[in-house]
Amino acid sequence: MSLHIDFIYESEQRSASLVSLKFVVRLIGIVIPLLLLMFGLVVFFQYHQMKSELAGVEMHWKSIEPAYKDALELRAELESVRQIEAEFDRWRSVRLTWAKPLEAVRDAVPPTMQLTRLQAREDLKIDGTVPVYQFDLIMEGRARGISPRTDVEQFQHDLREHPDLVEIVDDVIIPPGSFQADPAPGAEREHRVFRLTAPFIARRFE
């Protein structure tokens, strides 16, 4: 039988841990305030740095703001000018230049014919919401050859096939009743007066 006798009072007994709880509490009480202080200092310096940078940006903006506003106004004016130019381009695309059609008529008239009236007409119509330009050319004259009907029909054919007209003219028509005897004094029995109309292909303003 063995006996164990402890000669140390409970108050004198030491903890087995190398660091006492009291020390840990004191250490925490010192470290946490230091960390909070350091964090506060970091936030404080960052705040002032950001405030300084913001002031610099605001000063820079104030210096360039007038130029920026001028640039916006110029951009708006440029866009307005471009829209006007686009409208002019659209208008030019539907307008008809009469020089070549009239030259084609001059080239196609045979020597046995004389034009007494040449009228160019244009009409603006609305197809739904789209403006449409319609152009017509009216030709009146006298045919005083041996075969006036043949001459007029050949004139009609030459106009239809003329390279300056074939892509822009819808047709060349001799309306009913437009080929008659020439009522002019001194006209011979075979002489005729005629009328041709040439409607052009409609041009849509799109």
Each domain of the chain, given as residue ranges in start order, spans 19-94, 99-204
Question: Which among 92, 104, 83, 80 has a CA at the least distance from the CA of 162?
Answer: 104
pLDDT recorded at residue 148 = 92
Work out the pLDDT band at 150, boundaries 50, 70, 90. very high
Mean pLDDT of 146-150: 91
pLDDT of amino acid 10: 55
Comparison of pLDDT for 13 and 36, the residue scoring more? 36
Per-residue pLDDT tens over the stretch 72-95:
888 888 888 888 787 777 777 777
Percentage of the chain beyond pLDDT 90 is: 33
For residue 175, what pLDDT band results from cuts at 50, 70 and 90? very high
For 99-204, CATH number out of 3.40.50.1820, 3.40.190.10, 3.40.718.10, 3.30.70.60 equals 3.30.70.60
